[in-house]
Amino acid sequence: MHSVNAPSPSVARGRAARLAVPAGVLAAVAGAFAYVGTVDPNEPGHYPVCPLLRLTGLYCPGCGGLRSAHAVVHGDLLAALQANAPAVLGYLGCAVLWTVWVVHAVRGRPLRIDPPPVLLWSLGALLLVFTVVRNLPFGGWLHP
């Protein structure tokens, strides 16, 4: 006999099934961060060089992202922000989004993400400004 507060086995199986994909995504992201935390991107030869940087000498918005992730894994938030501040904000945003996804999955509600176009255009514009400024002479402090 089941307790009044305990979910039935079928409800528990349904909840576990709904959490399988978020758990898989978490495992993949944790594995990627563990790898970057172990294999230091500050040492040459471990990762490919950014093709834009190699061909043009210009930093793309992602340049420094691996160094940023490495610093996050090691708890050095200042170094992570210096390597690539938008990446750190992206990590935080993805963590929040994943948490909301899990809460929705536990409650059995589908997650619908429908950001307004103005938000997407604003984020794109901010990344463009970041990219341009980090490649100007006075933007050297934004270099990874």
Q: Is the pLDDT of residue 1 over 70?
A: no
Q: Is the pLDDT of residue 11 over 80?
A: no
Q: Is the pLDDT of residue 143 over 90?
A: no
Nearest to 37 by CA among 3, 72, 10: 72
Nearest to 67 by CA among 47, 52, 96: 47
DSSP-assigned states of every residue in 79-114 = HHHHHHHHHHHHHHHHHHHHHHHHHHHHHTPPP---
Query: Rounded to an integer, what distance in angstroms lies between the CA atom of residue 134 and that of residue 141?
Result: 7
Does residue 2 contact residue 11 with C-beta atoms inside 8 Å? no
Does residue 120 contact residue 43 with C-beta atoms inside 8 Å? no
Query: Rounded to an integer, what distance in angstroms lies between the CA atom of residue 114 and that of residue 87?
Result: 22
Share of the chain above pLDDT 70, in %: 92
pLDDT one-digit tens code per residue, 21-71 = 999 999 999 999 999 999 999 998 889 999 999 999 999 999 999 999 999
pLDDT given at position 8? 64
pLDDT one-digit tens code per residue, 92-110 = 999 999 999 999 999 989 8
